[in-house]
Each structure stands twice: as C-alpha cells, then as structure tokens.
C-alpha cells in the first residue's frame, strides 16, 4: 500500500479501496458543491504571519473543554456510515481517538450502536443527536447516552430536511438498486471481504428500533426524509436539555444572531458548521462565518468548528479565527477507509506534528496564545 504523507494522500487511498457509491457519499456535498469547495479554499486562503526570534522550544498543545483536558484542541466529527468504511469502523476510530487523547463523536447514523462503542471503549465519548418526529425515540436515545456516560451531546440542527446530493444519485447510493451497489463492491475485493463479509451486521445500529436489522440503504434514505423534523425550534432544545444532564452542544450554526441565541438559551457550546457542505449549497464557508460568530459570542461559551480542515495548519488557522476547539470529519474518515484504526492514529499524529510546526513559526507556545494577531492584518 502506498504510504500517506497527508490527508490528500489518504483521500486517494480511500478512493481506491472503497466501492464507488461509498466514496462518493463520503467525499461529496450538495448540489454543485460550491460550499464544499469554499470550506477548504477559504481556510487555506487565511494568511499567517511568520514571527521569529521567539523562544518556541517548548510547545504545549493541551487544552481544556467541558471539564476535561485533551491532548489536542481537536476532536473527531460524527461521520455517518463510518462502519461501512472499515470493519466496525466507528469502534476503530474511537479507539484511535482514545489513544490520542481526543474526543470521538458517534454519529446518529452509525453502523455501530451506542452500546457497542460503550462496551469496546469503556471511556466517555460524545454522541450526535438529531431531532426526529418520534420524540419517544429521541427520549430513548437520550437515555442510552446517559447509560453510556457520554461526555457531551452534539445536537445537530442543520438537517431539518436533507440537502440534494447529486453524487449519491449518480453513484446508485440514493435510488439505486442493491445489485448495482453489489457490483461496485465486487470491484473492491479487499473491502468486500474485510467489511462486506467480515464487518457485519451492516444495519444502522442506533436506528434498529425503528428500521430493523436488515433494512437496505434505500429504506434508510426514505426513513430520513420521512422522519427528520422540519419543525425544530429552540423549544426542542429546551426539551433536550430537560432530558439530558451533560454538556449540550448545538451543531450547525453559521449566523451571529443564532450564536447569541445559543448563549441566551443556556447551551454549553456551539459548533460553527455547514454540515461539511452537504446541506445548503452556497452557504458561507465556516472559515468566513467564524470570526463574526466569535465576536458575537464574546467568550461566553466555547466555540467549536468544522469544515475543510485537512491539516494541523488548518487547525491553527481556525483557532486564530476564533475557535476554541476544532472538529475534523473527512480527514479521519479517509484514513479509516484506507488503513482502519492505524490510519486514524496516523492522521492525528500528522495533525499534532503540523500544529507544532505552525505554532513555532507563528511564535505561539500554547493554544491560548493562538489568536488573530497571527493573521495577516489585511485579512482581519
């Protein structure tokens, strides 16, 4: 297998290993993928100041968030269907995150259910939650999160309806037949053996109470369209808070007024996110949205961010723009698809090494020392 030097290398390895429909689902965005491209472009366009003749012999990457100390200001975003990228993929990624001392977030649309992650990991992990029409099901999910002693809840609010993803239609994941996907899988024999056969069951573990164990992907997409609740409001956030005692983080914020409302409504943190460019195409990139949101929040609650992060340098850029913590998504999923747990471990090591270089060359020795002062004044 070709060695990977960065996340872009892992992306190509994932393309070569995954069936076409799975790679397209992981890699794609909505409509013409304008926002997907902007997430990466706008972040990489942030120009940093190279500051020299400062003592950077000791660099500390640790940070505190929600009462816990983390080795890096980095966490693993929820990624749907990650258990299809590698055998029991969510378990492998969670193990890598635990070893690196960073948080792992289990997607609501995961293959491995909460109980499997809790049993394998035996340490707190974060859980994503969507509001669906069946509030009884949501209440059960909250109870499961409590029983698993999840460290935080990421309430994702930017999917009242699903964005149109042309790639999924073209690849056969959405609206295609099982036969078409099976033929694609057979062109990837290593994946077919390791994941297709050895990685069963392939049901959406957290949705088994309503979908069953043998539900096909076509039923899964149909269920999302029929059950995600477009009527969600701040009243629903209050309802979740009443049924959840741990840190509550609202994911999917792009506007300063919504961020201020999050402060007013007493949540514990927000994630500046456009769902990886998979929802409203043409929406702002997170790099562009972040500074005004940070100004609106004014330190009253932690700001997390995702979108377009492919390196430790990108992590430093996001913190300089106003984030307290950075979540990576496709970066770890590409690596998982390529090399399983070892790939995720390697990506996190790459991010750590890249952060150390970026911090040294911008004259920062601690995470708290990364701020707008390291951004070229013409871009502030």
Q: What is the C-alpha separation between 208 and 76, in angstroms, rounded? A: 24
DSSP string, 283-311: PPPHHHHHHHHHHHHTTSS-EEE-SS--S
Q: What is the C-alpha separation between 80 and 309, in angstroms, rounded? A: 18
Single out the catalytic residue among 20, 169, 275, 346.
Answer: 275
Q: Active site includes 275?
A: yes
CA distances from 208 to 129, 148, 159 (A): 15, 17, 20
Closest to 368 in 3D by CA, of 300, 304, 322, 328:
322
User: Residue holding tokens 């500390």?
Assistant: 60
Residue 273 in tokens: 């996110």
The separation between CA 300 and the C-alpha centre of its own chain, rounded to angstroms, equals 23
The alpha-carbon radius of gyration of the chain (Å, integer) is: 20
Tabulate helix, strand, coil % of the chain (nearest 5). 50, 10, 40
Q: What is the largest CA-CA distance in the chain?
A: 62
Cβ pair 121, 59 in contact under 8 A: no
Catalytic positions, written as ranges: 275
């Amino acid at each position: 297998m070709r060695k990977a030097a960065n996340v872009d290398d892992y992306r190509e390895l994932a393309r070569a290993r995954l069936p076409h429909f799975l790679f397209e689902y992981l890699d794609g965005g909505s409509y013409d993928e304008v926002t997907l491209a902007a997430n990466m472009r706008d972040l990489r366009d942030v120009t940093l100041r190279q500051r020299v003749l400062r003592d950077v012999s000791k660099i500390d990457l640790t940070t505190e968030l929600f009462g816990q100390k983390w080795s890096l200001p980095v966490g693993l975003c929820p990624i749907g269907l990650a258990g299809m990228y590698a055998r029991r993929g969510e378990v492998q990624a969670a193990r890598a995150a635990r070893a690196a001392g960073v948080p792992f977030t289990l997607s609501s649309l995961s293959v491995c259910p909460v109980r499997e992650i809790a049993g394998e990991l035996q340490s707190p992990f974060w859980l994503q939650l969507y509001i669906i029409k069946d509030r009884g099901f949501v209440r059960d999910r909250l109870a499961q999160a409590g029983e698993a002693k999840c460290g935080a809840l990421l309430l994702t609010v930017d999917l009242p309806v699903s964005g149109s993803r042309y790639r999924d239609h073209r690849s056969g994941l959405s609206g295609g037949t099982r036969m078409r996907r099976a033929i694609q899988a057979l062109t990837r024999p290593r994946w077919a053996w390791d994941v297709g056969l050895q990685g069963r069951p392939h049901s959406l573990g957290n949705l088994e109470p309503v979908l069953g164990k043998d539900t096909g992907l076509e039923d899964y997409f149909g269920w999302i369209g029929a059950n995600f609740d477009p009527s969600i409001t701040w009243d629903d956030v209050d309802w979740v808070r009443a049924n959840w005692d741990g840190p509550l983080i609202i994911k999917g914020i792009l506007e300063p007024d919504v961020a201020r409302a999050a402060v007013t409504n007493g949540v514990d943190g927000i994630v500046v996110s456009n769902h990886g460019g998979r929802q409203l195409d043409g929406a702002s990139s997170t790099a562009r949205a972040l500074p005004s949101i940070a100004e609106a929040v004014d330190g009253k609650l932690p700001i997390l961010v995702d979108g377009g992060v492919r390196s430790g340098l990108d992590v430093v850029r996001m913190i300089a723009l106003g984030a307290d913590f950075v979540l990576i998504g496709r970066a770890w999923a590409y690596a998982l698809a390529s090399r399983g747990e070892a790939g995720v471990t390697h990506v996190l090591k790459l991010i750590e090494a890249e952060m150390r270089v970026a911090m040294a060359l911008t004259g920062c020795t601690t995470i708290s020392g990364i701020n707008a002062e390291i951004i070229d004044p013409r871009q502030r």
